[in-house]
Structure 1
Amino acid sequence: MEPSYLEILGTVLFGIAVLHTFFVQKILHWSHRFPKGSFAHGFLHLLSEIEIVFGVWAALFLIGMGYLTGGKSVVEYQESLNFTEPLFVFCIMVMAATRPVLAVARTGIEYVSWFLRKTLRTPEKLTDIFVVLTLGPLSGSFITEPAAMTVTALLLVSMFHSPPARLCYFLMGVLFVNVSVGGAMTPFAAPPILMVAQKWGWDF
């Protein structure tokens, strides 16, 4: 089956968006070559923001879609989408980043860490990191993956002052893996599992 022009456009733009994510630091470096406040500086600085990468290329895709199939089809496509899942994740992450939630999480982790240090005679900092990277992701089975990721990441940030880049990447990788494992222990914690849990008979 021959792919349509729209499918080709979507594939190409998605590939460019993925590549764009790897070049944001380079684009930020390019922006410094232009006078601060100039259009080129502002535009390149905007493109160096990782948060907007897929949004920019998605907007270009919709423009291309409108050119190929008409503006009405773009509106119909937008109205057919269900944004419940991303809104749910957004709300959960905002709530998880509030002070009461972080305070409760920090208190619980400090208590467990203190108990392990007294029992096993382990170093304080190492024990704290172990507990955060273990209990935090495991809590994702109950408070959802996005909430566990937010709480654990914020707790890790508060534990270090100007850490080396390699350590940051290492902790981030461990956090991603652990949160993925922790969120898979219940059928409602991970958004991807939540989407198929009912059809596959995984729900309670």
Structure 2
Amino acid sequence: MNQIRKYWLGLIMIGGLAVIAVAGGDVGSSPIFPIPLDSYGDAGLIKSGDIFAVLGNRITHTPFNLFASLIFLFAIMHTFAAVKITGIAKKMELTHAEQMRKSGKSEEEIEHNPPVLAEMLHFFGEVEAIFGIWVIVLATVMISFYDWSTFKIYIAQTVNYTEPMFVVVIMALAATRPVMQLAKQILGKFAAIGNNSPGAWWLSILTLAPILGSFITEPAAMTIAAMLLAEQFYRLKPSSKLAYATIGLLFVNISVGGTLTNFAAPPVLMVKTPWDWTSSFMALNFGWKAILGILISNLIYYYAFKKEFSKFASAFEAEAEAKMEMDSERHENSIPIWITSVHLLFMGWTVFNAHYPPLFIGGFLFFLGFAMATKAHQSHINLKPPLLVGFFLAGLVTHGGVQAWWIAPVLGSLGDLPLMVMATVLTAFNDNAAITFLSTLVPDLSITAKYAVVAGAVTGGGLTVIANAPNPAG
């Protein structure tokens, strides 16, 4: 059954890439799409502050706007229903298997003959595939309102897929054995202060990995933190409250932790050039506050769940001796420093050329060759998780590109504090990089308003899976 699901996922991902490839052909002449915001002729309505009149005018001017936003809304609702859809699929599989057993079928036959509807529901329950699925609906509506050429130009030239491609590559590099071993050694030095207990590892990962994200990018930090949490914390099977609190902290900390520099966090990348925000500006105005917030949040949650961490500590002590023996065996097979250094060089190349897909994708292909040559020191490079996350982000930016008609006037109509709150709320339902990008389209934003929208966007980056690009990796 799992093989069939992989087939469906692979088919839709290859199909999506094929659409983009076909779209890259001769585009011919086509009207500008999406319509520039200044083409609506509603400057007077915007100045009047009647936001509903502005939105109504834009829907009347371009009815496609309403359909595009409704499709986006349905996609968001679909993500929240994904767990239920998967549950229905599992029930159908169990019922089907029971019926086949009663008819005398073997377990092998049951395994290789799953109900088609259940497999389709499993696919529709894959969170990473949902936005891509709804792109098909968006494409159908776009072509019906305009034409194939308009859709083709939108996909090939208007939407920027650099970030999804970058996330795929940096996630794959960050998840390699040499990089993970190095990260574990660094974070382990700090966890050793707390006797390497689960609580010490929890604090170390949730504090240092997000800050590290400002230098190796947020997607890489998310990948490293998530894998170390799975190994050092989630294997102990924490309560649902602590498990969800941890993933929530991870999302928020990674989102705000990337604000020490101007190149690591996607929402900051969107504004650094239009607003001329340097890394020193980010560190002085956002970075130190982010570090303080991360420390305070982690300590509050740690003390709130202190009893549970104490239980983990006793279980940890029972495993300590066996673990020391395993570690001594692994030390004999430790990875040579030069191999780890080459991995870091590939990561550095990817980060340095993050805006140039031919360079970082070409570098990644060279890396795959290097990984094969040094496979004795490598773990299996699983490209499925990074590809799924990249597919998720590609679908998200495709939908987000036709939402400016309502997001930009909403943001532009608010004062500083309401703007920060609204940016936080909107980020829960749209990628925070899209929110900050759209804010750059609002004319004459004050410096305090700019601060408010970025602060709201990075703060809201942990509210949902779709709020921040690296979240699906967690």
Partner of 2:255: 180
* CA displacement, residues 128-169 of structure 1 (integer Å, 9 cap, x when unaligned): 110111011110111111111110011000013233333221
CA shift, 1:27, in A, is: 0.8
Query: Aligned residue for 2:92?
Result: 33
Task: For 2:63 and 2:129, locate their aligned partners in 1 and report how far apart those are by CA, in whole Å.
Answer: 25
Structure 1 residues 85-106: Cα deviation after superposition (integer angstroms, max 9, x where no partner):
2211221111111111110000
**Distance in 2 separating the partners of 1:91 and 1:49:** 21
CA contact (8 A) 1:188 1:203 kept: no
2:210 and 2:253 in contact (8 A); partners too: yes
Moved more, 45-54 or 75-84: 75-84
Which of the numbers 120, 123, 142 marks the counterpart of 1:46? 123
CA apart distance, 1:10: 0.9
Q: Which has the higher contact order (CA 8 A, sep 6+)?
A: 2
Distance, in Å, in 2 between the alignment partners of 1:40 and 1:93 is 32
Query: Given residue 33 of structure 1, which amino acid in structure 2 is its aligned partner?
Result: M
Instruction: Return the match for 1:9 from 50, 58, 67.
Output: 67
TM-score by length of 2: 0.40
Q: Match for residue 57 of structure 1?
A: 134
> Partner residue of 2:396?
none
- Structure 1 residues 141, 29: CA separation in 2 closer, same or farther (over 3 Å shift)? same
Map Cα deviations across residues 33-88 of structure 1 (whole Å, 9 max, x no partner).
36362221111111111111111111210111112211111111112222112211
**Separation in 1 of the partners of 2:127 and 2:140?**
21
Residue 126 of structure 1: which of 183, 191, 199 is its match?
A: 199
Partners of 2:58 and 2:65 within 8 A in 1? no
User: Which runs of no fewer than 5 residues in structure 2 stay unpaired?
Assistant: 1-56, 97-112, 280-474
Identify which of 200, 219, 224 aligns with 1:146. Answer: 219
Q: Residue 72 of structure 1 is aligned with which of 131, 136, 149?
A: 149
C-alpha contact 1:129 1:156 (8 A) present in aligned 2? yes
Distance 2:255 2:87 in 1: 33
Aligned equivalents of 1:60, 1:87: Cα separation in 2: 23
TM-fit CA distance, 1:198: 2.1
Give the match for residue 169 of structure 1: 244
Determine the C-alpha separation between the residues in 1 that align with 2:174 and 2:262. Answer: 20
The 3-state SS of whatever aligns with 1:33 is helix
CA distance in 2 between counterparts of 1:75 and 1:199 reads 27
Match among 208, 211, 221 for residue 135 of structure 1? 208
User: Structure 1 vs Structure 2: percent identity of aligned residues?
Assistant: 36
Structure showing greater radius of gyration is 2
Structure 1 gaps, min length 5: none
One-letter amino acid matched to 2:213: G
Distance 1:137 1:37 in 2: 42
Tell me, what secondary structure is at the counterpart of 1:139?
A: helix
1:98 counterpart letter in structure 2: T
TM-score normalised to structure 1 length: 0.91
Q: How far apart, in 2, do the equivalents of 1:2 and 1:181 lie?
A: 34
| Residue of structure 2 equivalent to 1:203 | 278
